[in-house]
Structure 1
Amino acid sequence: MTTPTSLGAGEARTRLHELTVIDVRTPGEYAGGHLPGALNIPLDQIRRALPDIRRAAEHSEILVVCASGARSENACRILAEHHVTTVTLAGGTGAWAAEGHDLDRPRSTSRAVWGMERQVRLTAGTIVLIGLLLGVLIHPAFQILSAGVAAGLVFSALTNTCGMAALLAKLPHNRPRTADLETTLAELRNR
Structure 2
Amino acid sequence: MTDGTQTATTLSPQTLRAWIDTHEDLIVIDVRSAAEFETQHIRGSYNVPLPLLSEHTEDLAERLGKRVVLVCQSGVRAEQARQRLDGAGMGSALILEGGVPAFAAAGGDVVRGAQRWALERQVRMAAGGLVVAGLVAGKFVSPKLRALSGAIGAGLAFSAATNTCAMGNALARMPWNKTASEPSAADAIGQIPAQN
Q: When the two structures are superposed, what TM-score results if normalisation uses the length of structure 1? A: 0.82
Contact 1:3 1:73 (8 Å CA) reproduced: no
Q: Which structure carries more helix by proportion?
A: 1
- 1:83 paired to 2:86: no
Partner residue in 2 for 1:40: 47
The offset of 1:91, in angstroms, is 1.8
- 1:23 paired to 2:11: no
- C-alpha distance in structure 1 between counterparts of 2:183 and 2:119, whole Å: 22
- C-alpha distance in structure 2 between counterparts of 1:93 and 1:23, whole Å: 9
Out of 47, 57, 60, which is 1:53 matched to? Answer: 60
Contact 1:55 1:189 (8 Å CA) reproduced: no
- The residue correspondences of 1:45-124 to structure 2 (distance < 5 A) are 45-58=52-65, 61-85=67-91, 86-106=93-113, 109=114, 112-124=115-127
**Where do 5+ consecutive residues of structure 2 fail to align?**
1-5
Q: Which sits farther off after the overlay, 128-137 or 156-165?
A: 156-165
Task: In structure 2, give the amino acid aligned to 1:78.
Answer: R
Aligned residues: CA RMSD:
2.6
Q: Which sits farther off after the overlay, 142-151 or 173-182?
A: 173-182
Residues 1:154 and 1:128: Cα distance change in structure 2 (over 3 Å): same
- 1:140 paired to 2:147: no
- C-alpha distance in structure 2 between counterparts of 1:157 and 1:178, whole Å: 26
The offset of 1:127, in angstroms, is 1.0
- The number of residues matched between the two structures is 185
Quick one: percent identity of the two aligned structures? 35
Partner residue in 2 for 1:152: 155
Q: When the two structures are superposed, what TM-score results if normalisation uses the length of structure 2? A: 0.80
Contact 1:5 1:87 (8 Å CA) reproduced: yes
Residues 1:170 and 1:3: Cα distance change in structure 2 (over 3 Å): farther
Out of 172, 177, 190, which is 2:181 matched to? Answer: 177
The offset of 1:57, in angstroms, is 1.5
- CA deviation vs aligned residue, 1:90-147 (integer Å, no higher than 9, x gap): 12113212323232124xx4xx322111110121122112212221221011111112
The offset of 1:188, in angstroms, is 1.1
- C-alpha distance in structure 2 between counterparts of 1:171 and 1:3, whole Å: 39
Residues 1:159 and 1:113: Cα distance change in structure 2 (over 3 Å): same
**Where do 5+ consecutive residues of structure 1 fail to align?**
none
Task: In structure 2, give the amino acid aligned to 1:114.
Answer: W
Contact 1:20 1:56 (8 Å CA) reproduced: no
Task: In structure 2, give the amino acid aligned to 1:152.
Answer: G
